[in-house]
Structure 1
């Protein structure tokens, strides 16, 4: 099931584009902008976790790398954030290679622990370096296009369009030959390697792709707040993004989009409960996972109509053995 070919995907994009005409408050518009950024983060992590099966608990590290790279370049050189995107792409790719190089040789819990450690290292480095502003962070970050198109509505449209492009590209990657290799590795890495798949390189491709998605989301985050600090890139943020992937349905692009919207907007919908809203939020998540353990919108094999990756395992493996 590919989002760009699904009517609900186009309907969701249409709703997102016309939403500013019906939103009465800047707060609601800012909330929807945050949700769109969160969608982009979740789709990026879905490449790593959902497609390739690599448990990454430090995804906020790439979010921080993108935000700090754009923030430093824009404030030090006086550039609009859009001009820093090429540098962000280069830096996030390098960060993915440096972090993924040693960690992707590990599996399972060991991989999760190491990625968690790298995520904390990035946050601690940002807290202690002068160029990153230390604990206070970086302030006065210009808009995406400087003073032009700097209003909240213009930013919202830029974020929504960028997130939509990211979703479409991620979906196309998922159904490509590389995407089939990722799913084969997720189901059985040893069998994939025995079938001729270069598992290390394929996993590195997934990790770097996820890093790029996270870095670009960091640019949008810096544009939205005009200020960044290490407090915005904690383990909690990585956990929330991972929660969106699991809740929506690992490997399912529309499911991950839905999960990201739920995770980002549900706490705000419960704001009237004051201090008890996060307790209710947690209870609702548990109930949803008990009712839909496979996710709100689980992955379905387009060719075979199966509802879970496990059911599609044998057809996927046979196809991979014939293509790689």
Structure 2
């Protein structure tokens, strides 16, 4: 059986042209907030866009390449935020230390959660990961060392010593280069992952488990590795989000973030490299420029997720392909 993403193994015919195009796109993205006025609100929108897109990338890896719906990625998201908050406020740790801690704890949490849940399949796995997220949220809400229900406030500005200088993120404008870099690296990672052996094995496990077993693959090990790989990405998004807000609390386990992750991936379509970015952009545009209130926006978000799953399960990318095929067919 042929895999659904043969393009993932094809190398570009003109890598130099592709590299120039990517560099131009990144440069354009870097200057775009300034060209749009450069206000704190504009920079805040773009930093949030980058952070939420990276957050969704972690879910995209599990959903698109394993076909599993993880409802526990808010755990990794919160681990990133709490790592930044606790270490920077209590130990005056710089950003390198807090980021490394966030990644390490996320890997450990994913390894434990994966070991405990990946023996199950489909909705059982989803329910197990969701239950783990609920338990983690209650622990954060009731643990004084984690700030309890009030959370942790007063997170200092992000500091990243670079040897010859120090990067400081005191505002969204200063955080934007780092947020953009994190987004670019996350997209690059997914691009490499989909071309990797693990990415190919994950697709085989999703699309044809009997063939995967006949090929000598251990399905549980593949699912475990992919799940663990996805966790640090979402954790780093939570890490930067903590510095952006200067506050973390139990609200990081809120259903809003989980729904946003899933909607951002599903609304565009699975295995679309820029899908999470486009999906988050559509969501934030609605919430910032066509808002109907906090609770109303959550209703819209949930309604969009349900509508796409029912009407367009292949997402906007699948709809576009269907329209393209219809236009390409010769008329009788």
**TM-score, scaled to structure 2:** 0.81
1:158 to 168, 175, 178: 178
Deviation readout 1:189-242 (Å, 9 max, x if unpaired): 343123211211111111111111111111110110010111132123112101
Distance 1:72 1:211 in 2: 20
In 1: Cα distance, 2:135 partner to 2:158 partner: 28
Q: Counterparts in 2 of 1:1-324, with a 5 A limit?
A: 5=18, 12-24=25-37, 25-145=39-159, 148-271=168-291, 292-297=312-317
Q: Is contact 1:64-1:218 (8 Å) kept?
A: yes
Q: 1:286 to 1:88 in 2, by over 3 A?
A: closer
Q: Which consecutive unaligned segments of at least 5 residues does structure 1 have?
A: 300-306, 308-324
Greater Cα offset, 283-292 or 252-261: 283-292
Cα RMSD (Å): 2.9
Q: Is the 8 A contact 1:266 1:281 kept in 2?
A: no
Cα deviations by residue, 1:64-116 (Å, 9 ceiling, x for unpaired): 01111221111110112332112111111100001110100100110010011
Give TM-score, length-normalised by structure 1: 0.83
- After superposition, the Cα gap between the structure-2 partners of 1:230 and 1:149, relative to the gap in structure 1 and judged at 3 Å, is closer
Over 3 Å counting, the alpha-carbon distance change for 1:170 and 1:275 in structure 2 is closer
Moved more, 138-147 or 278-287: 278-287
Residue deviations 1:137-194, cap 9 Å, x none? 1111122217834232110111111111111111110111110001111113343123
Q: 1:108 to 1:85 in 2, by over 3 A?
A: same
Task: Check conservation: 1:66, 1:217, Cα contact below 8 A.
Answer: yes
Q: 1:247 to 1:280 in 2, by over 3 A?
A: closer
Equivalent-residue separation in structure 1 for 2:170 and 2:188 (angstroms) = 26
